[in-house]
A and B are shown apart, each in its own frame.
Chain A
Amino acid sequence: DAGVTQSPTHLIKTRGQQVTLRCSPKSGHDTVSWYQQALGQGPQFIFQYYEEEERQRGNFPDRFSGHQFPNYSSELNVNALLLGDSALYLCASSLGGTGYYGYTFGSGTRLTVV
């Protein structure tokens, strides 16, 4: 039973560049959420995608955008990268999105902005 798959695992980008991170949800899940985790902090909710639309968004600027495809996979795009965007980006999938049955997280993409 494949869990949540994220790619790439590590990434180094320069300030001002753009980055795209990818996520394949757990089999049977239809909802994808994205989180940002800075070192020593808990994950922070970026947004959730359901039925190919952004359903809820956290306190993140418009530089952060996403997409969900018909096969439920998702991308997170970050434009005009800042040094402060360096973090572990986590994808979580669920069925229906409310989390009642728990979210399944991937191992994340470690983004370093230099």
Chain B
Amino acid sequence: LAKTTQPISMDSYEGQEVNITCSHNNIATNDYITWYQQFPSQGPRFIIQGYKTKVTNEVASLFIPADRKSSTLSLPRVSLSDTAVYYCLVLGAGSYQLTFGKGTKLSVIP
């Protein structure tokens, strides 16, 4: 499984766009990238996943360059309720487990 590296913490003001970048240099051809969000005392919540280029849903966008060695989660116009830990994971085709790192603790400031 490819190891992921992401910043330990980030701060942002309300209303700003937040970009969290994750590196996964050893990603394999059939792996895809997935992001989860976790609030205190709750389980992680699936946000978005992708294989290449750009994926967008109602919550976030995921940008993956052609070499797929990194990915960027973009949260538009964050609010205080977006304060959480964000995990970047690489999921291998046929793998049944999620391998979490420590994630990025995002703090949104009023």
- CB of A111 to closest CB in B, whole Å: 13
Cβ–Cβ contact B46 & A45, under 8 A? no
Q: Which of B41-56 contact A (CB under 8 A)?
A: 41-46, 49
Listed from nearest, the 3 A-B pairs whose CB atoms lie closest are A105-B43, A42-B100, A102-B46
Chain A residues near B46: list those with CB within 8 A.
Answer: 102-104
Taking residues whose C-beta sits less than 8 angstroms from the other chain, chain A's interface range is: 20 to 34
A97: interface (CB < 8 Å) = yes
Chain A residues near B34: list those with CB within 8 A.
Answer: 99, 102
Other than the known A33-B97, A41-B102, A99-B96, what 15 A-B pairs have Cβ atoms closer than 8 Å?
A4-B43, A42-B100, A43-B100, A44-B100, A45-B98, A88-B41, A91-B43, A98-B91, A102-B49, A103-B46, A103-B98, A105-B45, A107-B42, A108-B43, A110-B41
Chain A residues near B45: list those with CB within 8 A.
Answer: 105
B99: interface (CB < 8 Å) = yes
Cβ–Cβ contact B100 & A55, under 8 A? no
- The number of residue pairs between A and B whose CB atoms lie closer than 8 Å in the complex comes to 67
What are 8 A-B interface contacts by the 8 Å CB criterion? A33-B98, A45-B97, A90-B43, A90-B44, A97-B96, A98-B91, A105-B44, A105-B45
B63: interface (CB < 8 Å) = no
A17: interface (CB < 8 Å) = no
Q: Which of A66-99 contact B (CB under 8 A)?
A: 88, 90-92, 97-99
